[in-house]
Chains A and B, each alone.
Chain A
Amino acid sequence: GENVEQHPSTLSVQEGDSAVIKCTYSDSASNYFPWYKQELGKRPQLIIDIRSNVGEKKDQRIAVTLNKTAKHFSLHITETQPEDSAVYFCAASGNTGNQFYFGTGTSLTVIP
């Protein structure tokens, strides 16, 4: 089955700096890569996603890049703010879209 690895497990940045979280996946059939933000005690919420036919996608301060050849994708958050502090999860899904495999999460702390 699919194996998704995520790094780093913890990340601290100064407010205004950028944060980058990286994931790798093993199954070349995976073609959908979402990123979720989870605040303490809350449910995961989708913040951005990318499909395998696209190399990069941006939404305001958040961007995701995908390298299919190397089987890795990354989340980039620019101009970080304290409210960006949360745990971020990457995931991968194949053609069916009903099986998602998650990374182990990155705890991001933005220091004011």
Chain B
Amino acid sequence: NAGVTQTPKFQVLKTGQSMTLQCAQDMNHEYMSWYRQDPGMGLRLIHYSVGAGITDQGEVPNGYNVSRSTTEDFPLRLLSAAPSQTSVYFCATTPGSSYEQYFGPGTRLTVT
């Protein structure tokens, strides 16, 4: 069991570039979420999904898109990167039967 995996671990983008952060899980968990973590601000929810084909916005969705075509994958797309999107991004999953969240290892993104 790999649990929750994220790729890449590090990424540097130029302003205006687009990219996709990958998140995959092999635990058959229903719920998946994306967070960003900035110094002094804790973790803030970007988007979440309660199952394949269903996504919704969290606290800070602007500038990000998500889709969930399978239970296993939940990619996060940055449409046009901005320096304000420099952050550490965590993907997390939750089984539908409990509230315990499992976090991926994170992706550190720098936008110059």
Using Cβ atoms and an 8 Å threshold, which residues of chain A touch B58? 99
Using Cβ atoms and an 8 Å threshold, which residues of chain A touch B92? 100
Q: Chain B, 56-96, contact with A by CB distance < 8 Å: what is the 0/1 string?
A: 00110000000000000000000000000000001010101
Q: Chain B, 86-110, contact with A by CB distance < 8 Å: what is the 0/1 string?
A: 0000101010101111011110000
Interface size class of A (residues with CB under 8 A): 20 to 34
Whether B100 and A43, one on each chain, are in contact in the complex, defined by CB atoms closer than 8 angstroms, is no
Whether A49 and B103, one on each chain, are in contact in the complex, defined by CB atoms closer than 8 angstroms, is no
Using Cβ atoms and an 8 Å threshold, which residues of chain A touch B104? 43
Give the one of B35, B59, B100, B101 with max A CB within 10 A: B101
Across the two chains, which residue of chain A brings its CB closest to B59?
A: A1
Whether A34 and B100, one on each chain, are in contact in the complex, defined by CB atoms closer than 8 angstroms, is yes
A1, A49, A96, A102: which contacts B100 (Cβ < 8 A)?
A: A49
Whether A100 and B45, one on each chain, are in contact in the complex, defined by CB atoms closer than 8 angstroms, is yes
The smallest C-beta distance from A52 to any residue of chain B, in angstroms, reads 11
> What 9 pairs between A and B have smallest CB-CB spacing?
A102-B42, A43-B103, A97-B99, A98-B31, A104-B42, A102-B43, A32-B99, A44-B103, A105-B42
Give the one of A34, A43, A45, A96 with max B CB within 10 A: A43
